[in-house]
Amino acid sequence: MNYIVCEEPGTFLLKEQDIPKPKAGESLLRIRKIGICGTDIHAFGGTQPYFNYPRVLGHELAAEYVEGSAAGFNTGDAVSFIPYFNCGSCVACRNGLTNCCTSIKVFGVHIDGGMAEYVVVPDGYLLHGEGLDFDELALVEPLAIAAHGVRRAGVREGETVLVMGAGPIGIGLIQFAQQAGAQVIALDVNEHRLDFCKDELGVWQTLNPMKADVIERLAEITNGDMPTVIIDATGNRNVMNSAFQYLAHGGRYVLVGLQKGELSFSHPEFHKRESTLMSSRNATREDFQYVIESIKSGTINPKKYITHRIAFKDLPLGFEALLAPENNVIKALVEIND
C-alpha cells in the first residue's frame, strides 16, 4: 500500500509498505477521505507541539470497514473513528475525561496516522457512519473539537460570543455557538473567510483587526458590555494574549487553538473581571455523537466548508499550494479513489 510521511518540516514523501494486519481487538480500514487540518499544517511547518519526525499525519478520516473483530461492523461499511487513544486508567480517564488522558496517543500526532491507503484501529474507537457519506465523515472529528469547545464554554442563549479565527475549527465553533443561541462575532484577518462567515453562516458581526481597533469595535457592537465568551481558534500567541482585554466582566475565555509559547496577561485586569480561563483539548465520544446527529438532522452542513480537493498521490507536491492565502482554502480533502 501507499502512505505519505512527513520526514521533516517541509517535506512529504510517498512511500510503500505492506498492508497492516489487524490483531485481536483491532480492525482494518481502507481510508477514503482525509481532511487537512491545522495540526497537519503546523506539523509540516515545524510549529506543532507534542510532535516528533518522521510522522505519518492525518486524523480527520473517512473509511470503509475491511475486516476485524468489531461487533456490528461489516465489510464495506462507511465508518470513522475517534483518533484519541487513551489509557483508561489515569485520573482523567477515571473521571470520563478521555480527551485529556495523561498518556494520550493522538493518531497522526503522537503515533502514525491516516495518510495511508489502509490503517489498523482498535475496535473501541470505531464510529458507525449512520448514513453519512465520506465527505461528511471526514469532517466529524474537527466538528467534534468545535462542539467540545462550545460545551466547555457553557455557551447560553442570548450571550455574545467572540470566535477568533475563521478556519475550519472556528467555523465549527461559530455554528455550535449559534446552535446554543448565541450572537456570534467572527474575528479574522482573512476577508474571504469573514465573507464566508457572513454569507454562509449568517454570523451577527465580523471583525478584521487589520482594519479596525478591536476594543473600540467590540465596545460599539456590544454597547460597552464586551463579549461574555471568547473562544480562540487561531493558535497565534499575539492574538491569544490580546484577547484578555476583550472579555466582559464575569466572562469565560476558552483556548481551542494551541501554540508553543507562554501566555502573558495583566493579572489585575484578569482578576477584576473575575474571568475564567480554560483550555479545550480534543473531544469525547459524546461530542462525536452530537456532531453526527447534527449532520443527520441538517442543523450542520459540513460540505459547505469544503473548498479544495486533492488526490492522495498528488499531496506531497501539492500540499504547499493549499497553504497559500491567495488560494482561499477553507477546507481541503485528500481523496483516495479506487
- Per-residue confidence (pLDDT) for residue 217, from 0 to 100: 98
**End-to-end Cα distance, the chain:** 13
Cβ-count burial of 160 within 10 angstroms (0-12 exposed, 13-18 middle, 19+ buried)? buried
H/E stretch holding 261: none
Q: What is the pLDDT of residues 20-42, one digit of tens each?
A: 999 999 999 999 999 999 889 88
- What is the percent of the chain where pLDDT is above 90? 92
- My answer on whether 30 and 133 are in the same domain is yes
Q: What is the pLDDT of residues 276-297, one digit of tens each?
A: 999 999 999 999 999 999 999 9
Please report whether residue 288 resides in a domain. Answer: no
Say which residues have a Cβ less than 8 Å from residue 234's Cβ, sequence separation at least 6.
Answer: 164, 165, 170, 240, 257
Please report whether residue 90 resides in a domain. Answer: yes
- Per-residue confidence (pLDDT) for residue 48, from 0 to 100: 78
- My answer on whether 179 and 221 are in the same domain is yes
Among 33-42, 198-207, 244-253, the least confident range:
33-42
- Per-residue confidence (pLDDT) for residue 59, from 0 to 100: 96
* pTM as predicted: 0.95
- Per-residue confidence (pLDDT) for residue 338, from 0 to 100: 67
Rounded distance between C-alpha atoms, residue 201 and residue 182, angstroms: 13
Per the structure, how many domains does the chain have?
Answer: 2
- CATH number, residue 40: 3.90.180.10
In terms of residue numbers, what domain contains 318? 2-138+301-335
Instruction: Tell me the H-state helices in 204-330.
Output: 214-221, 237-242, 267-272, 285-297, 315-323
- My answer on whether 120 and 153 are in the same domain is no
- Per-residue confidence (pLDDT) for residue 117, from 0 to 100: 98
Q: What is the pLDDT of residues 139-152, one digit of tens each?
A: 999 999 999 999 99
Please report whether residue 290 resides in a domain. Answer: no
